[in-house]
Structure 1
Amino acid sequence: MKKLINHPSDVVLEMVQGIVAAYPNEVELLPDTTVIVRKQKTNGKVGIVSGGGSGHEPAHAGYVGKGMLDAAVAGEAFTSPGPDQVLEAIKAADSGAGVLLVIKNYSGDVMNFEMAAELAEAEGITVEKVIVNDDVAVEDSTYTTGRRGIAGTIFVHKIAGALAETGASLQEVHAAAEKVVQQVRSMGMALSPCIVPGNGKPSFVLGDNEMEMGMGIHGEPGLEREELKSADEVAEKLLQPILEEGVFKTGDHVAVMVNGLGATPLMELYIVNRKIQELLKEKGLHMTKTYVGNYMTAFEMAGCSLTLLRLDDQLYELLQAPCDAPGF
C-alpha cells in the first residue's frame, strides 16, 4: 500500500486538522471531535449538517462554508460517524431556526443521524432530515436498503444551503431539499478499485480490460462487469438508465455533474462530458450548468459518475447563488 499517510489510525483526524489549517479564517474543528464547522455563525439561520464516512473528499468537509453546510461530520474511512459526533455538529450548527440533516442513504448513516436527531430534539433543537438516494444503478446493495446516495448529495447541500442563507424557514429549506432528491439522478462506473488505509488491500479486483457499471462509492458491486469501453460508450451507458427514470423530459433545463472518483484525470472527465453534452442536446435537454471534477470520491478509485438535476426557476436561482465552500 502506497499512501501519503503517517499511520492508518490517524488519517481522519490528521485530514480534518489539515483542512482547518488550510482555511483557518473560514472553518474550525470542534474540540475532541472530527466535526468541522463554519467559523462565522448567522443567528436565526437554518443550520445545514451533513457527513459520513471519510474517503470521499472533498465531501463532506469541503462543503462547509457560506451558502452550503454549517457543519460536516467525518467518520472513519467508509464508516458512519457515531451519533455523539453528529449531535455535536447539530448543536454547533443550531442558531435558533432549527437544523436540516442531509443524509446519504446508507444504513449506518441513516441510523446514526436519526439517533442524533432524536437526541438533539430532546435538548430542544428542531431537526428535519432528508435522505438522498440518487443512484439509479441498484437497490438494496451491500450498505443500503433502497437506492444509494452518491454525488447528487452535493446538489442538495448547495440548494438547501443557499436557501438557508436567505433566512427561509426550516420547513421551506426542507421542502427544497426534498425537491432536489425527487429531481436528481446519478449513475457511476469504476475502472479500478480503491484501498482503504486500515485494510491495505484493494477493495475488489478488476482485470486490465474490465470495468464495472453501477459501482458504488465504497466499492459495492454494480450492475455488470464487462469489457472496457470507450469514453463515448461509457457516457451513453451512464446516461441511458438515468433518462429511463422518466424524470427528465424534452425541453427541461438540467444541471450536469461529471464527477471523478479520485484517480481519473480531468482530461478523461472532460472527454466523457463532451459526449454527455452531445447526447443531452440530441434528447432536447438544455444544459444550464455543468460541473466537472472531483466532488465525491472513493480514495484512489478510477472511474466517474454522472448526475443530472432537473431545474425549475427556484432551483436554478439557488444553484447560481454565491458560495464560498472550498470544495465547490
Structure 2
Amino acid sequence: MKKLMNDPKNVVEEMVEGYVKAHPDYIKQLPENDRALVTARETSDGKVGILIGGGSGHEPGFLGYVGDGMADGVAVGNIFASPSPDPILEVTKAIDKGAGVVYLYGNYAGDVMNFGMAAEMADLEEDIQVGMAKASDDVASAPKAEKEKRRGIAGEFFIYKAAGAAADFGYDLNEVVRVANKANDNTRSMGVGLSPCYLPQTGKPSFEIEDDEMEIGLGHHGEPGIEKGPLETADRVADRLVQDILADIEINEGDNVVVLVNGLGSTPRMDLYIVFRRVEQILSEKGIKIYRSYVGDYITSLEMGGCSVTLMKLDDELTKMVDHPVDCPMFVQK
C-alpha cells in the first residue's frame, strides 16, 4: 500500500481541512463539529435544506456536492463508515431556513441508524422537521422483490441532483422527499470490481481478487458481488451490467434516460469512455434515448479498480430536475 498521508488516524480530518481550504468560496466547517460542513453561500429563507452524508473514501462524494443546486450541507464519517448523529444534527441546525431539512443517504445499517437518531434529536431538541430518503439503486445487492434491502451506490448522485433542484424550485419538505424517492425508484446501478482498495488504518485490501479475475456486482466498500469470474472485455462487462439493469426496470423504446458511468477510484477515463461507448450502443439498438450522460469519478471507493453503470428513467418532472443548473466544487452543470 502506498498513500500520500501522514498519520493514518488523521486522514479524514486532514482531508476535510484541505478541502475546506481549497474551496472557501463554496464550503465552510462548523466550529461546533469538524465533521460538519455547510455551504459558504447564503440560502433563501423558506427553502428546504438538503443534507447529504456518509463515510469518507468516496470522494468527490459526498462533500464535493455541497453547492448551488445540490446539497446545503454534509456530515462526514470515518472511512466507509456512517457519520455519527452529532455532525448530522449540527448541519441540520445550520441549514434549516424554517422549511425543514431533508436527509439523503445510502441504505446502509449505520447510516439508517445515525441519520434516524439525528432526525429524532432535531425534532425533539430543535423543533426542526426532517424528511428522509434512502438510495437503494444497486440491483446486485438484493432481488427485486426485496428492493428495500438494496444498498445505495453511484445512483445517489442522481438523487442529490433531483432533490437539490426540487428544493431550489420551492417545493415543500414532503414534495422534496417525494421527488427524491421518485428519483431513487427510477434509478438502477450495477458495478464491477477489478482491484481492491487499501484502508489507510490497516494497509490491507478491502477484498481478495486475482489479476485475471473480476467481481460482478461488487459494492462500494468491497462487499461481495453476484459472482467472481475471469476478466472480460469492456464490451462484455458493459453488456452484463446493462442487461441486469434493464431486466430490473421497465425502460422501453422511445424512453429517455440519464446515464452515469462511474469510476471507482483508479480506473482511467479512457476505460470509462470505452464502457460508455458500449452502453450507448446497447441503448441505441433498443431505441432508448440518452438525454444526458456523465462519465468520470462521481462516487468512488478510495483507489478501487472498476466501474459502475447507472441509468435513471426520466419523465417530465425528473427531466426538469436533471436540467437545473448546479455549481459545486466537484460538479458544475450550466
TM norm structure 2: 0.95
| 2:310 aligned with 1:273 | no
| 2:192 aligned with 1:189 | yes
Alignment match, 2:24? 24
Q: Which ranges in structure 2 are unaligned for 5 or more consecutive residues? A: none
Alignment of 1:5-20 (within 5 A): 5-20=5-20
Whole-Å separation in 2 of the counterparts to 1:116 and 1:249: 40
Q: CA deviation at 1:110?
A: 0.5
Segments of 4+ moved more than 6 angstroms: none
Alignment match, 1:106? 108
Q: CA deviation at 1:25?
A: 1.2
Contact 2:89 2:118 (8 Å CA) reproduced: yes
Question: What letter is aligned with 1:40?
Answer: R
Q: CA deviation at 1:107?
A: 0.4
The superposition leaves residues 133-152 of structure 1 with CA deviations (integer Å, 9 ceiling, x where unpaired) of 00000229xxx981110010
Whole-Å separation in 1 of the counterparts to 2:303 and 2:103: 28
Query: What is the percent sequence identity of the aligned residues?
Result: 52
Alignment of 1:7-86 (within 5 A): 7-31=7-31, 32-42=33-43, 43-86=45-88
Contact 1:41 1:95 (8 Å CA) reproduced: no
Q: CA deviation at 1:247?
A: 2.9
Alignment of 1:232-311 (within 5 A): 232-311=235-314
Q: CA deviation at 1:229?
A: 0.1
Whole-Å separation in 2 of the counterparts to 1:121 and 1:167: 22
Alignment match, 1:169? 172
Question: What letter is aligned with 1:54?
Answer: S
- RMSD of equivalent CA atoms: 1.3
Whole-Å separation in 2 of the counterparts to 1:139 and 1:308: 17
Alignment match, 2:325? 322
Whole-Å separation in 2 of the counterparts to 1:8 and 1:294: 24
Whole-Å separation in 1 of the counterparts to 2:17 and 2:251: 41
The superposition leaves residues 143-197 of structure 1 with CA deviations (integer Å, 9 ceiling, x where unpaired) of x981110010010101110111122211211111111011000000100000011
Q: Which ranges in structure 1 are unaligned for 5 or more consecutive residues? A: none
TM norm structure 1: 0.97
SS in 1 for 2:327: coil
Alignment match, 1:220? 223
The correspondence for 1:87, drawn from 77, 86, 89, is 89
SS in 2 for 1:315: helix
Contact 2:136 2:148 (8 Å CA) reproduced: no
| 2:123 aligned with 1:121 | yes
Question: What letter is aligned with 1:74?
Answer: V
